[in-house]
Structure 1
Amino acid sequence: MSTAERLVESTRELLWERGYVGTSPRAVLERAGVGQGSMYHHFRSKRELALAAIRRTAEELRDRAGQELGAPGAALDRITAYARRERDVLRGCPIGRLTQDPDVMADAELRAPVDDTLRWLRGRLAEVVAEGRDRGELDPSTDPDLTAAALVAAVQGGYVLARAADSAEPFHQAVTGVLTLLADRSTTGSG
């Protein structure tokens, strides 16, 4: 892994663990195992490095969700695969957590990949729900946009509930609840 890659990966982890303010250049350098000059050789500022890290995290989230939601099979099965995939629930979503970081949210450029990713996720889920509805797998009255918003809210809210309880159980309950509601709209009986 190149020095620039080590810096980005270290920043990604620190942003997830500590947020923007807690991700000091010193912490990044220590985690990456590189000297001080290395950071400023590759990135003009902490902000530029953070932006690269946030963009990378957003890209990975979209790639993984895209694979699950784009797989063959029934819409409900693909949505279930996305919602129930293995996650480090108590750490939270690396993108969702950034929405709680006032420094990221106050900076339009740092906020953009977060907003874009969550908007993309809602859109992709809405497409899958619409496919299921149009193929007769889901009730014809199922609203794809509202359903997608509820799915994203259940997953993101599940992270919050799990972290507050220091238990993954509330996350699993939130996901099971929203999937049960969606399965109740299924016309195929899968789920």
Structure 2
Amino acid sequence: MSSTQERRPGTRERLVRSAQELLWERGYVGTSPKAILERAEVGQGSMYHHFAGKSELALAAIRRTADTLAESAEECLAGPGTAYERVAAYLQHERQVLRGCPIGRMTQDRDMVRDPELRQPLDEMFGWLRGRLAEVLAEGRSRGELSADLDPADTAATVAAVVQGGYVLARAADDPAPFDAAVRGALSLLAAHAGTGTTAPTDH
């Protein structure tokens, strides 16, 4: 492999990672191509060698972030234990709460949500998450781990909303405590549908 071939993947990777970081920090509107180039420490020509422009690079970065979040969630939801324990693992997974959700952050950008192509990874990620949570909860119900009157789809939507809402409350307070409280509350509600011996944690 030539040195040029070795540099190109490295340059593209730096661009995508820099775009991921800046989109998380500043959002789509607040992220300029110049800022991405400076963060990636590459020249303008390098960027346009790999991407047609900001929109295409942002799309690659958003897809990467969405895939990473999905993989992280799947590790929790596909892990050992009861349905309650697996959902609890997802809710209690370590997060940089005060930075907000790197995907949820994108929904606050008007230009982002108005662009169907840029919005697609967001829709897919949240749709997948609700569906996967619903699968785990339905498995738990069928195994008798959760009560028969629990609605998997509605409960999955609640769990997803707790995480996203928790981010907002924590950032507004500049304190992760509201996020932790929301998680404890969700787990308490879910524990009420679980078998005897299941108790929600008292601290995140």
Report the TM range for the smaller structure's normalisation.
over 0.9
**Aligned twin of 2:202:** none
Partner of 2:92: 84
Give the CA deviation at 1:21.
1.2
Is 2:179 the partner of 1:171?
yes
Cα distance, 1:189 vs structure 2: 2.4
What is the aligned partner in structure 1 of residue 156 from structure 2?
148
Could you tell me whether the CA contact under 8 Å between 1:69 and 1:82 is conserved in 2?
yes
The aligned amino acid for 1:155 is V
What's the counterpart of residue 75 of structure 1?
A: 83
SS at match of 1:104: helix
Secondary structure in structure 2 of the residue aligned to 1:2: helix
Distance 2:15 2:149 in 1: 48
Indicate conservation of the 8 Å contact 1:79/1:125, yes or no.
Answer: yes
Specify the code of the residue in structure 2 equivalent to 1:53: A
List alignment gaps of at least 5 residues for structure 1.
none
Could you tell me which residue of structure 1 aligns to residue 134 of structure 2? 126
The letter of the residue matching 1:15 is: L
Q: Secondary structure at the match of 2:28?
A: helix
Q: Which residue of 1 aligns with 2:10?
A: 2
- Structure 1: which amino acid aligns with 2:16? V
**What fraction of aligned residue pairs are identical, expressed as a percent?**
64
Superposition TM-score, scaled by structure 1 size: 0.98
Amino acid at match of 1:117: M
SS of alignment partner, residue 175 of structure 2:
coil
How far off its partner does 1:88 sit? 0.3
The yes-or-no answer on 1:52 pairing with 2:60 is: yes
- Please tell me whether Structure 1 or Structure 2 has the larger radius of gyration of its CA atoms: 2
Distance, in Å, in 2 between the alignment partners of 1:107 and 1:189 is 48
In structure 1, what is the equivalent of residue 169 of structure 2?
Answer: 161
**Are 1:105 and 2:83 matched, yes or no?**
no
For structure 2, the 5+ residue unaligned runs are 1-8, 200-204
Q: Which secondary structure state, in structure 2, belongs to the residue aligned with residue 29 of structure 1? A: helix
**In structure 1, the residue corresponding to 2:29 is in which secondary structure?**
helix
Deviation at 1:73, TM superposition (A): 1.3
Letter in 2 for 1:74: T
- Aligned-residue CA RMSD (Å): 0.9
Deviations 1:26-52 (A, max 9, x none): 000000011111100000110000000
How far is 1:190 from its partner? 2.4
Distance in 1 between residues matched to 2:198 and 2:59, nearest whole Å: 41
Runs of 4+ in 1 over 6 A off after TM superposition: none
CA distance in 2 between counterparts of 1:67 and 1:131 reads 17
Deviations 1:82-141, CA, capped at 9 Å, x for gaps:
000110000011011111111110100000000110010000000000011111111111
Q: Which amino acid aligns with 1:31?
A: R
